[in-house]
Amino acid sequence: MRQLVVIGNGMVGHRLVEAVLSRDTDAPWHITVLGEEPRPAYDRVALSSYFDGAGEEELRLPELSDRPGVDVLLGEPATAVDRHARTVTTSTGRVLDYDALVLATGSSAFVPPVPGHDLPGCHVYRTIEDLENITATASAAVQRRDAPGVVVGGGLLGLEAANALRLLGMRAHVVEMAPWLMPRQVDEGGGAVLGRLIAETGVTCHTAAGLAGIEPAPGGEGLRVLLGEQGPGRQSVDAGIVVFSVGVRPRDELARAAGLEIGPRGGVAVDSACRTSDPRIYAVGECASAQGTVYGLVAPGNAMAEVAADNLVGGRAAFTGGDTSTKLKLLGVDVASFGDAQGTTEGALEVVLNDAPGRRYAKLVVSDDATTLLGGVLVGDASAYASLRPLVGRALPGDPLDLIAPDRGGSGGVGAAALPDDAQVCSCNAVTKGAIGTAIAEGSTDIPALKACTKAGTSCGSCVPMLKTLLADSGIEQSSALCEHFDHSRAELVEIVAATGVSTFSELIARHGTGRGCDICKPAVASVLASMGGGHILEGEQAALQDTNDHFLANLQRNGTYSVVPRVPGGEITPEKLIVIGEVAREFGLYTKITGAQRIDLLGARVEQLPAVWARLVEAGFESGHAYGKALRTVKSCVGSTWCRYGVQDSVAMAIRLETRYRGLRSPHKLKSAVSGCARECAEARSKDFGVIATEHGWNLYVGGNGGFTPRHAELLAADLDDETLVRYIDRFLMFYIRTADRLQRTAAWIEGLEGGLDHLRAVVTQDSLGIAAELEEAMRRHTAGYADEWRGVLEDPDKLARFVSFANAPEAPDPTIAFEIERDQPVPAGPVALGMPEAPGRAGARPARAPA
């Protein structure tokens, strides 16, 4: 059996092995893969999802070592290649013979050789280990309350790194030498819009700024980043961490030492078959230089892997160039570029839509006769990417401006039916529309099946919307079933409950489902029943349906304790109630924090303490703030016309009215709101699920905004409303959302998914286009009439109270694993040392404290 050695266990090396194994051959290979990292291959494209909670297991690619004839040696990189003896030596001294060798060594992060680039606290953003180190340094800086994090490099990976720092609790600065962000992907106009949108997320961007050096910050903690030339005008930024994301360099050191030909800008020179100057050695991915170009994206690397694999088994495939198209969501901002995005083709024309008020920029690059699409840039709204990218190099189906300007009557893209069968739908894996059509015809009738059959959508995922369209165009309707136990969608279950009067999960699943239910349908049905007046959520079998937070009417924290957030409508609180909160926190030893939504969070209560804490608060006139539930959380407000000289309406009174009206309203996802007393928008109403902004003539109502990982600005639903009309419209909006949204679907995504979008919603809410306005208003009336405080409901029921213990067989015993220490004069969860574990960075100096009584 012939011996194939693959040096590199990244995404492209992994793809090459899969491609060889998938091809039928009479002379099979025994494959040995050498991996530098001590872990199996993982999806580096999705690396940033690590900061969204994805673990290493979720990032892993399919295991290769389980395949017959494949050995994977992890943590054992190659150290030398002997071309004459045809051997590879590894870091352990192992010598491997080869009949063919593939270099898939990838690239390394480039670090500018400025003074201080190697100081502690400086990192690159390349591997899981890098991300672990970044997390440790950032966490230590946050605990020390150090300066913000600085990312050097404003390309796509740099902006991902900036978002990672934000998710780790830091303010982020981005330093980019070019005049605008992402200069390789977008043009100056797109870069200007992108810069404004990124700045709105709180990231400070320093463009046209050179990095001069890094030095320890005064005082010895943190770093100081020096920008520009030496002199009195030089800028500097103090930082708790510096992350370099300036670019990559091909890992071609093995090839150089072996005497292989190197490309003009580095990288191993390869021909169209991906062979190097030694015909027994191939190179693929970011270490290869094809026609003088080193590609830094996964799609060209995968294409090279397929070409090399085909030639290894006797084929004649050729690599003719790579697709550098990109679609990303960076800090909540959609960005896409495809084809000749910069318009470098001779005679190319540009069709530009620069819609600053609409927060979007679009450019198509077309041939000199405006008939052929050459490329494009999309910023702010990249929904047309999936249909436009496959048309690169093909005839345009109409007016180019119509394709990017739907507001003027255009299509806003091209329907899937207009694409030819040889158009690539998935550029990462070179999957055509025809291949997807064949897979559908052969039985791949949903997205997971199409991914498994064709690999489309398994890399960056930007083509998944087109896959859904192709399924729909094939007459295959995608299931909207809530889960395997119900064939109905959440919206259909709402209608069933309303029509039949079913009041329990067991009755609903017996009559309209199968089995016993799961952790998907149980909380979803519990929410539906609660939103339709199903009684206290801990009543009878309802209690068993709830997730952890709802089960204890409090938010579970990292150390096993709970937080308590009393409702403070509109953020208005009397001194007497403020004193009670302070007394409760002091009596029970709780950590206190004023939240971003103008509420006071009491953290650190053990489960058996919750009823006692609630009793004190309820006695003082407080009630549950529902911070634990998929329900209305808060209605934030500014001080409005009562105090502010700019205020034109009483925002506090309106916020209190709305919060009191909608308190306890259970919904598919959490709801947040705000009321601003003037257009200066101090309450940030346009970042909420429904927001209200005062005008000289009444109130403007905005809907569909949210913060979180994907921030969205709310959009104007109706303007200059009087008080009663405003409330009536919000009643209709919320009840329509509750009845028709999917499980865990925020209002922004719900509106996007409505056929007709915001215009349809506006017609339903303001014009009663569906004839259901009275029904929706009556449903809200029933909710307000039936509202009861959930905390008080527990305190008045001994059976419910009995649930609040750490140990059923020792109700009075506290959980011994819960311990606290003192930071900034408040109790916080004890660090690893206090719990008998190795010390974590950044927790030195904390004082131990006994658990609160």
The residue count for the chain: 853
Provide the token pair at 202. Answer: 């709180």
What are 662's two structure tokens?
A: 């909608």
* Rounded-to-integer distance, Cα 170 and Cα 146, Å: 9
Q: Which residues are CB-neighbours of 82 under 8 A, at least 6 positions away?
A: 88, 89, 258
Please tell me the distance from the alpha carbon of residue 20 to that of residue 100, in angstroms, as a whole number: 12
SS3 726: helix
* DSSP string of 204-225, one letter each residue: EEEES--EEEEEEPTTSSSEEE
Residue 569: Cβ within 10 Å count: 20
Distances (CA, A) of 821 to 740, 766, 848: 46, 54, 4
Torsion of CA 617, 622, 624, 627, to 10 degrees: -90
In whole angstroms, how large is the CA radius of gyration of the chain?
A: 30
Q: Which two tokens stand for residue 478?
A: 């995608």
Is the distance from CB of 151 to CB of 161 less than 8 angstroms?
yes
Residues whose CB is less than 8 angstroms from the CB of residue 666 and which lie 6 or more positions away in sequence, other chains included: 527, 530, 531, 629, 630, 631, 738
Strand partners, 702: 691, 716
* Cβ-based neighbour number of residue 57 at 10 Å: 8
| Beta pairing, strands 349-355 & 360-366 | antiparallel
Q: How far apart are CA 788 and CA 533, in angstroms?
A: 10
Q: Annotation-wise, does 463 bind a ligand?
A: no
The residues, any chain, with a CB within 8 Å of residue 796's CB and separated by 6 or more, are none
Residue 569: alpha-carbon gap to chain centroid: 31
Judge whether 682 is annotated as a binding position.
yes
Contact 202, 165 (CB under 8 A): no
Please indicate if the annotation marks 483 as binding a ligand: no
Q: How far out from the chain centre does Cα 301 lie?
A: 25
Q: What is the dihedral of CA 403, 405, 411, 415, to 10 degrees?
A: 40
Residue 270: CB partners within 8 Å, gap ≥ 6?
A: 276, 282, 283, 284, 288, 289, 290, 304, 319
Triad 188, 191, 197: Cα angle to 5°? 150
Give 591's contacts (C-beta < 8 A, 6+ positions apart).
585, 602, 603, 604, 826, 827, 828
Residue 754's SS3 state is coil
30 beta partners = 3
Is 453 known to sit in a ligand binding site?
Answer: no
Cite the beta strand spans of 356-398 per DSSP E: 360-366, 373-379
Rounded to 5 degrees, what are φ and ψ at 690? -140, 130
Rounded to whole angstroms, how far apart are CA atoms 530 and 205? 46
How far is it, in rounded angstroms, from Cα 255 to Cα 261? Answer: 8
Burial (CB count within 10 angstroms: exposed 0-12, middle 13-18, buried 19+), residue 219:
exposed
Could you tell me how many helices (H) and strands (E) the chain has, helices first? 26, 39
Give the SS3 label for residue 322: coil
Binding residues for siroheme: 682
Binding residues for [4Fe-4S] cluster: 638, 644, 678, 682
Binding residues: 638, 644, 678, 682
